[in-house]
Chain A
Amino acid sequence: MSIALSLFVPYLFGLGHLVRTLLTGGGRALTGNRQDAARDIAVILLCGLMANYLLMLVLGRLVLVLAAGSLLALTGLAAFLWTERAAVPSIVRNSWTTVCVVLFLALLYSLYIFFEPLTAWDARSIWFFHGKMIFYNQGFTPSAGWTDPAVQFSHIEYPKLAAALAAQFALLAGFWNEHFPKAALLALLIPGLFAVQSFFSPRRAGWFLLIACLLFGLRWWLWNGYMDGYLALYSALAALYLGRWLDGRDLQDGYAGVACLGMVGSLKTEGTLFILVIAVCVIALRYGRRNAAALQSSAALPRGFWLFILFSALGPVLWQMIKWRWGIANAMPLDLARIPARLGDGSLNLILGTLLLNNGVALALAFFLAALGAARAYRLRPSPSVWLALLTSLAYFTGMTAVYLATSNELPWHLATSSERTMLPVLLCLGAAATVLVNAIETSESLTAEPFPRKSPPKKKR
C-alpha cells in the first residue's frame, strides 16, 4: 500500500514525460518560472494519467499494464534526468514551494479520501463498482460481465479512467476494500493542484479566490468518489488555459488546455459536450475577433500540437470503439421528440428554476457581473480568456438544459438527483471568469495584456 502511494506520482511523471517528449519533440520542461513549472508538471502528470488509461484500454490485463507502464515510466524518468540534469538545481529552486503547497492540499484532502469509506450512491454503484469489476477480473476484459442485465443500472457506458486507476491501486494493495481504491481520487487531484498553482500570483487575493472557487468550492465532490467534481475542475482549468492561450502568450498553455480536455473526455460522458462547446467557443473567439493577431494561425501550429490533440482524444475514442465491440449501450438515451412538448408544459420553467436558483448559477452569474462591472470601473477591457470561460459556461448550461428537456427519465427525479452535480462545470467556469477579472483589477493591468501576470516572459521553445 505504502509502495503504491509513494510510487504513483513518479510513475505518472515518468510515463507522462515520455509521452510528452515523444509527441511534442521535447521542449522545455519545468525550466520556466514558477508558474510555468507548475503548469508543466500538471501537463506531464495528466499525460501520465491518459497514457496509463490508454495502456489499460489497449492491453487490458492489470499486471501487463503495470509492467509495461513501469518500464515506460522508468524510461521517461531516465530521459528526464538525463536531458534536464543541468537544470535540476533551478527546477528545485523554482518548484519547491509549489510542491509544498500541493503536498499540504493533498494531505488535507487525503483525510476524507482515505478515511471516509465509499458511501455516495454513484461512487458505489458506478465508478468504484467498475473498478471492482476490473480488479476481480485482473483486467479490463469482457469476462467481467459488463453486459449482464443485473449490472445495467451502473451506467456501464461511462469512461473507465478513474475505475482503472482504482483497480490498479487495489492490485498493488492486494485486496479490495472501501477505502484504499479511493487513492485513485488522489491521483486525479494532484495534477489539478499543480495546475491551479500555475495561475499563482504571489500574495494576491486572486490566487486565494481561485483556490476557494476551484478547490474548496467543490466541497465533497473531490472526495466522495463521484467524478463530477473532477470533471468540473478540469473543465474550468481547460477554460483558463485555453483562455490564456487565446490571450496570445504561450503555446504551452494550449497544450495544457488540451491535456485538461483529454481528462474531461476520459472522466465522464458529459465531458464530450464540454469539449464540443469549448472548441466552438475557442474557434469563435479566435476567428471572430478583429484583433486576434497574437495567436498563431492553425497552419502555423507545430505538428506536435496536433499529435498532442490526437493523443488526448485517443482515450475517449478507444473507449467508444470498445463499447461498440462489446455491445455496451447507453443507459440513458435522450428522446429529442420530447423537447417540443416539454417546452410548452412548464418543464422549461422547472429546469431553469432548478438550475439557476437552486443550484446557484444565478448567484455565480451575479458575482461575475459584479466583477465585470468593477473591471469596467477601472477601465479594464475583458480579455478573450474572460469571454471564453463565460461563453463556454453559458453554452454548456444551454446544452445541459437541452439534455434535461430531452431526458427519457421522469424530469423532476432526474433534476433532483443530478442537477447539483451537472452544474458544477458551469459554476466553476463562471468563477474562473470572475477570478480572471478580479486578478486583473488587483494587478491593474489591461486584461487584454495579461490576465495572469508572470514573473518573466515565457522562454522560447528550445
Chain B
Amino acid sequence: MRMLKPRLTAILFLVLFLALFRDAPRTAADLVVTWGRVLSSGDLGQLLAQAGAPGAGEHVLPPPAKAGIALLRSFRVAAFRISPALGQDVEVRQRLVEGAYPVRCSDSAPYLLQLASEPLAAQCSRLSSTGGIDLVHCP
C-alpha cells in the first residue's frame, strides 16, 4: 500500500483533531474575533478603566445578593446572618457570604438578612429594605 507523505498525514491529523474537538478552533476564533471587536469599537479604554476600578464587576451577582450586600455596606455592619428562607437558594447564600466579605457571616450576629416577604420576629426591628431583601436588627 502506498503511504501518504508523513507531513501530509500529520496535517490530516491536525485537521481531524480540529474537526473532532471543535471547541479548540472555536476558542481560538472567539479570542481573535472578540479582540478585533474590542479594538474596532474603541471600548478598550473603558474596559481598562472598569478592570481597574475598586469593587468593579459586582454586577454579576444575583439581585438578592447585590441588594443584601448593599444593605450591609450602607449600615457598616461587621457581621450578619442569613434567614433560612433566604439561604435556601444556595447560590444567593454563597454569593452573600463571599460577596460581602470582609463582613463576616455568623450565626451569632445581631444583624439578619431576610426576604421582605418574611414576617418580622419578636424583638427585631427592620432597619432598611431594598430589592426584596430586608436588613433586620435582632439585639
Question: In the complex, are the beta carbons of A129 and B101 less than 8 A apart?
Answer: yes
The interface bits of chain A over 76-117 (1 if a CB of B lies within 8 angstroms of the residue's CB, else 0) are 000000000000000000000000000000011101101101
Question: In the complex, are the beta carbons of B7 and A442 less than 8 A apart?
Answer: yes
Question: In the complex, are the beta carbons of B55 and A175 less than 8 A apart?
Answer: yes
* Residue A369 is within 8 A (CB to CB) of chain B in the complex: no
Contact flag A117-B57 (CB < 8 Å), given A173-B52, A378-B6: yes
Task: Kindly list chain A residues whose C-beta atoms are within 8 Å of the C-beta of B24.
Answer: 212-213, 216-217, 219
Question: In the complex, are the beta carbons of B13 and A209 less than 8 A apart?
Answer: yes
A134 shortest CB reach to chain B, Å: 11
* Residue A307 is within 8 A (CB to CB) of chain B in the complex: no
Task: Kindly list chain A residues whose C-beta atoms are within 8 Å of the C-beta of B17.
Answer: 209, 212-213, 367, 431, 434
B interface residues, how many (CB within 8 angstroms):
48
B131 shortest CB reach to chain A, Å: 19
Q: Say which one of B32-40, B69-77, B110-118, B120-128 lies at the interface with A.
A: B32-40
Tell me the chain B residues, 42-86 only, with Cβ under 8 Å from chain A. 47, 50-60
* Residue A377 is within 8 A (CB to CB) of chain B in the complex: yes
Tell me the chain A residues, 439-462 only, with Cβ under 8 Å from chain B. 439, 441-444
Contact flag A115-B47 (CB < 8 Å), given A219-B27, A363-B20: yes
The answer for the CA separation of A220 and B24 in the assembled complex, in Å, is 10
Contact flag A443-B6 (CB < 8 Å), given A112-B31, A117-B56, A153-B94: yes
Question: In the complex, are the beta carbons of B10 and A119 less than 8 A apart?
Answer: no
A443 shortest CB reach to chain B, Å: 7
Question: In the complex, are the beta carbons of B10 and A204 less than 8 A apart?
Answer: yes
Name the one of A124, A175, A176 contacting B95, with C-beta atoms under 8 angstroms: A124
Question: In the complex, are the beta carbons of A151 and B18 less than 8 A apart?
Answer: no
Question: In the complex, are the beta carbons of A111 and B34 less than 8 A apart?
Answer: yes
Nearest to B58 among chain A residues (CB) is A178
* Residue B132 is within 8 A (CB to CB) of chain A in the complex: no
Contact flag A149-B107 (CB < 8 Å), given A1-B52, A177-B56, A219-B27: yes
Which of B9, B18, B53 gathers most chain A CB within 10 Å?
A: B9
Question: In the complex, are the beta carbons of A132 and B53 less than 8 A apart?
Answer: no
* Residue A293 is within 8 A (CB to CB) of chain B in the complex: no
Question: In the complex, are the beta carbons of B31 and A438 less than 8 A apart?
Answer: no
Tell me the chain A residues, 325-372 only, with Cβ under 8 Å from chain B. 360, 363-364, 367, 370-371
Task: Kindly list chain A residues whose C-beta atoms are within 8 Å of the C-beta of B16.
Answer: 367, 370
Task: Kindly list chain B residues whose C-beta atoms are within 8 Å of the C-beta of A324.
Answer: none
The answer for the CA separation of A160 and B39 in the assembled complex, in Å, is 35
Question: In the complex, are the beta carbons of B21 and A108 less than 8 A apart?
Answer: no
Question: In the complex, are the beta carbons of B23 and A178 less than 8 A apart?
Answer: no
The answer for the CA separation of A378 and B104 in the assembled complex, in Å, is 64
* Residue A136 is within 8 A (CB to CB) of chain B in the complex: yes
* Residue A118 is within 8 A (CB to CB) of chain B in the complex: yes
Question: In the complex, are the beta carbons of B10 and A117 less than 8 A apart?
Answer: no
* Residue A3 is within 8 A (CB to CB) of chain B in the complex: no
The answer for the CA separation of A110 and B55 in the assembled complex, in Å, is 19
Nearest to A445 among chain B residues (CB) is B6
B71 shortest CB reach to chain A, Å: 17
The answer for the CA separation of A236 and B109 in the assembled complex, in Å, is 47
Contact flag A205-B97 (CB < 8 Å), given A212-B25, A363-B20: no
Tell me the chain A residues, 1-32 only, with Cβ under 8 Å from chain B. 1
B27 shortest CB reach to chain A, Å: 5
Question: In the complex, are the beta carbons of A177 and B55 less than 8 A apart?
Answer: yes
The interface bits of chain A over 138-164 (1 if a CB of B lies within 8 angstroms of the residue's CB, else 0) are 000000010011110110000000000
Assuming A212-B14, A213-B17, what are 20 further A-B pairs, CB within 8 angstroms? A114-B51, A115-B38, A117-B56, A117-B58, A125-B98, A151-B98, A177-B51, A178-B57, A178-B58, A205-B10, A209-B17, A213-B21, A216-B25, A374-B9, A377-B3, A438-B9, A441-B6, A441-B10, A442-B6, A442-B10
List residues of chain A with CB under 8 Å of any chain B CB: 1, 107-109, 111-112, 114-115, 117-119, 121, 124-125, 129, 132-133, 136-137, 145, 148-151, 153-154, 173-180, 204-206, 208-209, 212-213, 216-220, 360, 363-364, 367, 370-371, 374, 377-378, 431, 434, 438-439, 441-444
17 contacts between A and B (CB under 8 A): A115-B38, A115-B50, A117-B60, A124-B99, A129-B101, A132-B101, A136-B102, A148-B105, A179-B51, A209-B14, A212-B28, A217-B27, A367-B16, A367-B20, A438-B9, A441-B9, A442-B7
List residues of chain B with CB under 8 Å of any chain A CB: 3, 6-7, 9-11, 13-14, 16-18, 20-21, 23-25, 27-28, 31-32, 34-35, 38, 47, 50-60, 91, 93-95, 97-99, 101-102, 104-107
User: Nearest 3 A-B pairs (CB), nearest first?
Assistant: A178-B57, A117-B57, A442-B10
